[in-house]
Structure 1
């Protein structure tokens, strides 16, 4: 398939635009629901992290692949941050200690087959591979 690209400001209000774009791709590629869910979850989590921690920034998302393997690449103009080196959250001691937030990258690591970061030309580049 031809690579698909979306560029947008890193603003949480634009998350619905990203979700619709991902939905168009998974529909066009006729992906199974589990893979579609993984792409949606990872795209929304990475975008939300960029919007919350790197704004104001511009984000470009590229998605390429086929029905068996997909590669999603995020580039942003935010400050340097390597999510692949972020430590995992500590295990909760009980249900009430879990709290909100701080576990999104753990989910991304579980859903994406590989996750690689580079800092190139003043931009963060995060590549997620599925399949």
Structure 2
């Protein structure tokens, strides 16, 4: 399972593995040093934090370079709000609870991956936090 800090070694893992599985729950929790169960700090748990998105992108890019599939599990994988962004990043394999399948399938039918890819590339080049937040909101709320 690719979690923090293993995401930074994704290229090395890709040379040895048949696929790269991203575990978002622990990736987010450990990268942001936030216990998502602790009511005192769980408001800081943010799947859309730009550092998280960049780590996910590192793993996806490593998988693409090695020509191996990259999959994602965890709450982020089954949340239809994140689907446009993850598709734009190049993710195509998702592991989720069965209760999420119909909504994800419905949302998939409304999205244009080429446009999402273009917008997500702009996001990954962004350094301004406010502009990044605007782009993330635009991508995640995208419908066609």
Q: What TM-score bracket applies, with the shorter chain setting the length?
A: 0.3 to 0.5
TM-score if structure 2 supplies the norm length?
Answer: 0.30
As a proportion of its length, which structure holds more helix? 2
Tell me which of the two structures has the higher relative contact order, counting C-alpha pairs closer than 8 angstroms and 6 or more residues apart.
1
As a proportion of its length, which structure holds more strand? 1
